[in-house]
Amino acid sequence: ALPISHVDILINNAAIMRCPNWTTEDGFEMQFGVNHLGHFMLTNLLLEKMKNSEHSRIINVSSLAHIAGDIDLDDLNWKTKKYDTKAAYCQSKLANVLFTKELARRLQGTGVTANSLHPGVAVTEIGRAH
């Protein structure tokens, strides 16, 4: 395999929605883990390769649901309050927007841009819980 020297575009689109109170292997609330922490980690792992491109873009797919989000830094994993699947989803999507906003600020002048977006509404199986 050839070593990859640069990455031109990264689209973080993985998501789950309104699942039961599941946790990741690392103990994070599942929606926060999949919808935000996974994107955060992948972006940071690829960031230097993105800076090696002449111009590169990071696109984080969020949701209009971020408007209803509230990030409880004291209880990100819903250990002390009753689990609310909708609120947990909104929290994860607000985290996407806040991460992207700060990332864009930090990347000014590097040739890397970061944007978040609401993809619109479509009939998918994102809300299925298996």
83 tagged catalytic: no
Segment 71-115, tens digit of pLDDT:
999 999 999 999 999 999 999 999 999 999 999 999 999 999 999
Sign of CA dihedral 21, 24, 26, 28: negative
pLDDT-based confidence at 7, cuts 50/70/90?
Answer: very high
Q: Which of 32, 78, 89, 99 is catalytic?
A: 89
Q: What's the rounded mean pLDDT across residues 47-70?
A: 92
Cβ-count burial of 114 within 10 angstroms (0-12 exposed, 13-18 middle, 19+ buried)?
Answer: buried
Average predicted confidence (pLDDT) for the chain: 91
Q: Read off the pTM.
A: 0.88
Q: Counting runs of H as helices and runs of E as strands, what totals does the chain give?
A: 3, 3
* The pLDDT of residue 129: 61
pLDDT score, position 130: 53
Residue 103: C-alpha distances to residues 4, 59, 92, 95 (Å): 23, 11, 16, 12
Rounded CA separation 33/28 (Å): 6
The tens digit of pLDDT for each residue in 110-129 reads 999 999 999 877 676 666 66
Residue 54's pLDDT is 84
